[in-house]
Every structure is written in C-alpha cells, then in structure tokens.
Amino acid sequence: MCRTLLNLILPLCISMPVLAETLTLTSMDIVQGEMMKRAQEFQGFGCGGDNVSPQLSWTGAPKETAAFAVLAYDPDAPTGSGWWHWQLVNIPKNVNSLAAGAGDPGKSRSPEGSISIRNDYGVAGFGGACPPKGHGTHRYQFTVFALSSKLELPKDASAALTGYMVRANTLASSTIEALYRRD
C-alpha cells in the first residue's frame, strides 16, 4: 500500500513547478505596525517634521517585471477617499531600493526615468504624515509594485488614475504598514 501511494504522489511532486521568490519590501526607517519617526512627518499644515521619505528596499520581483512603482497611502485620512502621500512610477526594473529622501520634491533624488505624481498636498514627490491632532493613529501603507509594463500616464495624471493603472499592471506587491498620530 505504501509503495502504491508513493508511486501516485512522487510523480506529482516531481512535476510541481518551483515557486518563484515572493516580492518583499523592507526598510531601515519604517517598521510594520510601529510608529514612524518625526523624520517622516510632513512640514506644513501645522506639522513640523522633516518630510523625508523612508529608505525602501525590495527583493523577489517576478522575472517578467518591466518596472516598479512605490505608493504611500493613508486610508484613515478624514477625506472620504484617503490621502495619497507619494506615487513614484516607472522605476527602472534594475532598481531595487530607494534611499531615504528619494521622494524629496525639491531635489532630483528619484531614479532616472521614474515619474513622481502629484500627491494630495499638491506636490510631485513625497509628502509626510500629518494626521489631524487628536484624530488617533493613522495607517501609512508603503507598497512596492512589480509592474508588467511601464505606465503611460498623462502629464497631469490624478492619484486615482495612477493607482488604477498601477493595480491594472501589477504582477506582485509588498506592503509595510507604518503608523503615526499627533496628540
């Protein structure tokens, strides 16, 4: 009986495809489920942080990846539609990290060929956390997306259109959800 089962199972095991690596996002600046530092707080709107985008690295992208996108989003913002803090698209496929400050809208620190989309502060680049005082803890979702193709977006693409196009072309994604509040 054991030999019969082995004869049935072994061919299945041998013919099973080897799973590809899983896309994994890491950071030296933000941690899953933990509070972000003041460095990632916005400077303006009553907030006095450093407005520095966190360092991000990723591994395990699918072979078919043509480009990457990094999006930072607060689903808890009291807007009815959340708040887009950062959208960087068409990051070259050979890039697997962004240095702290890569989203600085005043400096050209993003990888060559990538495109910064206007965030909900109205600036093309990173805009840090700035939840309303006393509004409680907000979640900030930093996600890297492996894309099947570079995105063709209009020059003035909205954050909603960009989010749609990113998701429509996603092969894999990985998220770090960091937290922030102002009391």
Q: Is residue 53 part of a domain?
A: yes
Q: Is residue 7 part of a domain?
A: no
Q: Is residue 161 part of a domain?
A: yes
* Confidence tier at 122 by pLDDT (50, 70, 90): very high
Q: Is the pLDDT of residue 8 over 60?
A: no
Q: Which domain holds residue 155?
A: 20-180
The model carries a pTM of: 0.88
* Confidence tier at 182 by pLDDT (50, 70, 90): very high
d(CA 125, CA 102): 9
Q: Is residue 5 part of a domain?
A: no
Looking at residue 36, which CATH number applies to its domain? 3.90.280.10
Q: Is residue 12 part of a domain?
A: no
Radius of gyration of the CA atoms of the chain, in A? 20
Distances (CA, A) of 70 to 9, 44, 84, 89: 42, 23, 11, 6
* Confidence tier at 15 by pLDDT (50, 70, 90): very low
d(CA 115, CA 173): 19
Q: Is the pLDDT of residue 138 over 60?
A: yes
Q: Is residue 52 part of a domain?
A: yes
Q: Virtual CA dihedral for 34, 35, 39, 43, nearest 10 degrees?
A: 140
**58 neighbors 28 (Cβ within 8 angstroms):** no
